[in-house]
Structure 1
Amino acid sequence: MQYVSTRGTAMGPYQDVIVEGLAADGGLAVPESLPQIGDRLEELRALTYPELAATVIGLFATDVPPTELARIAHESYNTEKFRSADIVPLKQINGGMTLVGLSEGPTLAFKDLAMQFLGGALDYVLTQRGEVLNIVGATSGDTGSAAEYAIRGRDTLSAIILSPQGRMSDFQRAQMYSLLDDNIHNVAVEGNFDDCQHLVKLVSQDLDFKRKHHIGAVNSINFGRISAQITYYVWAWLRATDAVSATDRAGFEVSFAVPSGNFGNILSGHYARSMGVPIRRLVLATNENNVLHEFFSTGIYRPRSAEQTPATSSPSMDVSKASNLERFVYEVVGRDPERTAALWRELDETGTFDLSSELARFSEEYGIVSGTSTHAHRIHTMRATFEDAGVVIDPHTADGVYVAAFFVEPAVPMLVLETALPEKFAATVTEALGEAPVVSAEHQALLALPQRTTDIANDEAALRAFIEANAKH
């Protein structure tokens, strides 16, 4: 399988794409065509999660030997790293919904499912090539820790992760800033997540600087993460239909509700649906930073400034410039790289673009609907979920549950993708339930560990200087 940029440049096979990250023309890597899996679903039902991951990702990573994919998958998804033997367990909650447990990994967030695999895959490629890679990424809370836990201690990789000063929970900061490994570098930027993401994009687009310092990316612009995330949509459909009779399984539809910030998670669901997984609806849930909801309800994409992006109680979704939206728009405009590039030039020049003429297709052809919630909705939903089902959910998952309720249909299971475990957001859980979530002794000790970070201004020159001083060569 070969890849191209959403703006037209050929990018080569999977191994090249995961090392390169952002395309040289500023676009994002997409496969030349999506593999189809709909007629193979039944033969996948008996596979374990690592076996399924190796199979699904193998459709995209055709240049990686199957034996290596199987090895990386089993090293990524096992009970030493994940708390559930299923890796991704499903659990019934209130309102006829099912929670898809994506937060059983080492950093208690769904990002582990992509990052553990990507860390292993990059290590394999770099070892084969005798190269190193410095991962420069931005995080709103969970991507950074998941990346660092997947990279720490690897000789081929180092991480330079930008996070917004004062915008993460205490637990999120402790997970990242307490890592003192020589190949882990935390940089706290004076600004919000979008500012961090913009700085990363600026240095990544300078090809000479990028090559000189061996810079790559593992945030959701890296297609390796997208390919790994497709696996849990397939897994969740298989598990949700285990009890359905064999004669009724073919084409049996489910819907997914997805708390969304940077659009990578729900994009993976869009790809799974396009590959033939019977998904009726993809329900996009946003918080008060509802740029994506505005786009999917009006067709107008209008990112907001840092000043217009408030800090909320679901901070990992405090995003107003969704990087992965470009991959979806590329599909909407008929995989036309020239029109895609023109839209992003228009966005740079005017701050907006208009696809309202395509609006009906968002729900009719692609099955995507959307909604938004507030802090009050999150608190109410967390409380109701606990009272009705005895399940404590985090505030991001609460955004998903709240919005999903508007789109539940008879005989169509609604699967809500869990974002993180509640102990990562103790203050909000305490407000909702009147008591703090149970925190293990291990995680209580984490909060007390010494932390190391470097503060910088929202300034490209400052980031370049840090990379020059700390990059692995």
Structure 2
Amino acid sequence: MQYVSTRATSASAARNPQHFSDILLGGLAPDGGLYLPEQYPQVTGAELDAWRTLSYAELAYEILRKFATDIPDADLKALTAKTYTPEVYRNARADESASQITPLRVLEQSPERTLILQGLSNGPTLAFKDMAMQLLGNLFEYALAKNGDELNIFGATSGDTGSAAEYAMRGKRGIRVFMLSPHKKMSAFQTAQMFSLQDPNIFNIAVEGVFDDCQDMVKAVSNDLEFKVRQKIGTVNSINWARVVAQVVYYFRGYLSATTSNDQKVSFTVPSGNFGNICAGHIARMMGLPIAKLVVATNENNVLDEFFRTGVYRVRKSSETYHTSSPSMDISKASNFERFVYDLVGRDADRTHALFRKVDTHGGFDLSGAPGSDGDEFNLVANYGFQSGCSTHEDRLATIRDVFDDYGITIDTHTADGIKVAREHVEPGVPMIVLETALAAKFNETILEALGTDAARPAGFEDIESLPQRFVVMQPNVAEMKQFIAAHTGLDK
């Protein structure tokens, strides 16, 4: 299995295919594109049947070995076994078994509609990001140890990626983490989870701006190839291919747990901001997993919903990006969207490059096919099963109340967006699985508003907001950010 950049034109610096280990520690390709396999590996019905009885770790191994073909099987099996254990994913609810890793809860079941919640928040930071990040930490340590090398991770977070990355990388030999987050725009719990870490290899940087400002700086630094190489810069954002492919696993687990035979289909609704989570679902579907629909659920920052309804991709400015009660989706420039567009335009790297150059220069593109538009590929979106919807603050308050009253479950704000949109797209005979984003405790301010009571917290998180915090505040200035990184790596000495 080899990988190419979405912008691998004839003049591209990344036109030569790469192996999994070659792209593991990086993010963007040298040409500014994102890596994808030359072709998606296919899964047979016989494999799906054989996988139904596997543990999560065993299933992860079977799927990942199709993508990481240059890692010895024994090593990959050991890495997945080390990662996906009940001890790591220990924060299961009282009625769940930690050994399930991603348990399903049937919320509604009838011939007309079946609605299922897939739990993804049992990891150490109580968010779905742990599902991939814990594996990424072990993969990084494995790769660095083989070469006696070191890595400086530079990433951006709107909330959950940062803490998941830091908890996965803390104490890892040869790894430092520089994590950007929008200053005062995460929940108090999310902020405390990151900033309370005192590990010397963790650097939290609060940026005066929104998430897109943080993400733009990560891309700018990644595109400075000389600095990136000299400072040994890598990324854990969802532009990192290994993180996306690790998320593919729970789509297979959700499908296999919700069905009894391979002639059944399911749909997934995914709360979406940066498009990485649902991009993994797109990849699973391209591999042959019987997915009927992939439903993108957005909040008030509805850039992706607008595209999947109209064919127009219109990035918002920082001043037009809303600060909402589902803050991890307060994103107006979805990095992983380029991976889907590459498939949508027939894997035409020149066309993909041109479209995303237009994002940088004109703030978006139009594939609706209307006169004067950039093309008519929007009519092909249905072939990939995508639909969408959006949710507001009032919607999520109402959904949190409904789910608590009807099922006795307290859901977080992003998951509420997912359930609200899922209800609009569920169809008879096709189970709809909603991917959970996080435990409700991470967004207690809104839970308190919706239910009049605090969300329950797992043991060990009772007073996290009162812990001492360690972070710096900086402006969204790329030159100053490079100076900060260089000053703390010591690689320029």
TM over 0.5: yes
What corresponds to 1:261 in structure 2? 273
Deviation at 1:358, TM superposition (A): 1.8
Opposite residue 136 of structure 1, the aligned amino acid is F
In the TM superposition, what is the alpha-carbon distance from 1:445 to its structure 2 partner? Answer: 3.1
| Partner of residue 85 from structure 1, selected from 72, 81, 99 | 99
CA distance in 1, matches of 2:342, 2:435: 25
1:178 paired to 2:196? yes
Q: Deviations over 1:312-371 (max 9, x none)?
A: 0000000000000000000011101111111111222211211112223212x1000000
Provide the C-alpha distance between the structure 2 equivalents of 1:237 and 1:472, rounded to a whole number of angstroms: 47
Taking the aligned partners of 1:214 and 1:467, their CA distance within structure 2 comes to: 11
* 1:5 to 2:5 alignment: yes
User: In 2, distance between residues paired with 1:448 and 1:74?
Assistant: 35
| Partner-residue secondary structure (3-state), 1:267 | helix
- The alpha carbon displacement at 1:155 in A equals 1.1
Indicate the larger mover: 457-466 or 253-262.
457-466
Q: Is the 8 A contact 1:54 1:70 kept in 2?
A: yes
- The answer to which of 133-142 and 10-19 deviates more is 10-19
2:32 corresponds to which of 6, 18, 26: 26
Aligned position for 2:373: none
Bigger mean CA deviation after superposition, 92-101 or 166-175: 92-101
Query: What does residue range 326-345 of structure 1 map to in structure 2 within 5 Å?
Result: 326-345=338-357
Matching of residue 451 in structure 1 with residue 469 in structure 2: yes
Residue pair 1:93, 1:391 contacting (<8 A) in 2 also: no
1:292 aligns with 2:304: yes
Q: After TM superposition, where is structure 1 displaced by more than 4 Å over at least 4 residues in a row?
A: none
Asked if structure 2 preserves the Cα contact closer than 8 Å seen for 1:7 and 1:26, the reply is yes
Residues 114 and 430, structure 2, Cα contact 8 Å, conserved in 1: no
Matched, 1:221 2:239: yes
Q: CA deviation at 1:441?
A: 4.5
How far 1:440 moved relative to its partner? 3.7
Partner-residue secondary structure (3-state), 1:327:
helix
Residue in structure 2 matched with residue 191 of structure 1 by the alignment: 209
Q: Identical aligned pairs, as a percentage? A: 53
Q: Which of these residues, 264, 273, 277, is aligned with residue 252 of structure 1?
A: 264
Residue 43 of structure 2 aligns to which amino acid in structure 1?
I
Cα distance in structure 2, aligned partners of 1:42 and 1:187: 47
Q: What residue in structure 1 maps to residue 371 of structure 2?
A: none
1:47-62 equivalences in 2 (<5 Å)? 47-62=54-69
Indicate yes or no: 2:44 matched with 1:44: no
Note if contact 1:138-1:193 (Cα within 8 Å) is conserved in structure 2.
yes
- Which one of 32, 41, 52 corresponds to residue 35 of structure 1? 41
1:125 maps to 143
| TM-score, with structure 1 as normaliser | 0.97
Gaps of 5+ in 2: 9-13, 91-97, 369-375
Structure 1 match to 2:435? 417
Asked if 1:313 corresponds to 2:325, the answer is yes
The residue that corresponds to 2:486 in the other structure is: 468
2:438 & 2:350 partners in 1: Cα distance?
38
**Following TM superposition, by how much is the alpha carbon of 1:86 offset from its aligned partner in structure 2, in angstroms?**
0.6
Question: Secondary structure of 1:272's partner?
Answer: helix
Contact 2:266 2:433 in 1 (8 A): yes
Determine if the alignment matches structure 1 residue 404 to structure 2 residue 422: yes
Farther off after superposition, 75-84 or 375-384: 75-84
Mapped partners of 1:146, 1:461: distance in 2: 27
Residue 282 of structure 2 is aligned to residue 270 of structure 1 = yes
Letter aligned with residue 128 of structure 2: F
CA contact (8 A) 1:11 1:17 kept: no
Distance in 1 separating the partners of 2:297 and 2:490: 39
Shift of 1:93: 1.8
Q: Is the 8 A contact 1:385 1:392 kept in 2?
A: yes
Q: How many residue pairs align between the two structures?
A: 466
**Counterpart pick for 2:380 among 357, 361, 372:** 361
CA-based RMSD: 1.0
Are 1:151 and 2:169 an aligned pair?
Answer: yes
Q: Deviations over 1:276-311 (max 9, x none)?
A: 100000010000000000111111111001110010
- How far does residue 114 in structure 1 lie from its aligned partner after superposition? 0.5
Distance (Å, rounded) in 1 between the aligned partners of 2:407 and 2:17: 48
- TM-score normalised over the length of structure 2: 0.93
